[in-house]
Amino acid sequence: MSATPEIESRAEQPYVAIRTRVPMSGLAGVGQRLGEVFGWLGARGVDPAGPPFFKYNVIDMAGELEVEGGVPIAQAVEGDSQVVSGVLPAGRYATVTHFGHPDQLLDATRSLLEWGKAQGVKWDMSPGDDGDHWGSRVEFYRTDPSEEPDMNKWETQLAFRLAD
């Protein structure tokens, strides 16, 4: 089940992440690497400033996705050969919160995109030879699996940036 989409303004948000290219079937591996990002932050004494997320940079559903498994932080830090530093850009975002199992996120995403089309939304996205390039298309995982192991009770917020 998903809530009704909204459009909201967001400030820029620094983050660190591990960036990878995977087929759609490899997304679970990106999630497993979030522990490495948290460990990297902990080793440097940097606290998370929000829930972990996936940021989809390039999407080719039949081919590969370029995805970042990341964690928001209060102030930018320098990355290294494994962990990249970035900023979720400020701007207007279409958001919706999905309540339920992560395997339903594809349907929640499709619904948000269809809602945007019906609203005349222009996404911060441009097509490329290797797929659709997104300025900021993010899934925030708001439920801590160690506190709520039942995936059917998880909360995920989708936030897709609108074009200026």
The Cα–Cα gap between 108 and 157 comes to 10
pLDDT of residue 1: 55
Q: Which letter does DSSP use for residue 86 in this model?
A: E
The domain segmentation of the chain, as residue ranges, is: 6-161
CA distance 12 to 101: 28
Give CA–CA dist 20/67, Å, rounded.
6
Mean pLDDT of the region 99-126:
95
- pLDDT attached to residue 27: 87
Q: How many angstroms separate the CA atoms of 56 and 58, rounded?
A: 6
pLDDT at 21: 97
55: tokens are: 């940021």
What kind of architecture, by CATH, is found in domain 6-161?
A: Alpha-Beta Barrel (3.20)
- The string of pLDDT tens digits covering residues 47-62 is 999 999 999 999 999 9
DSSP state at residue 45: T
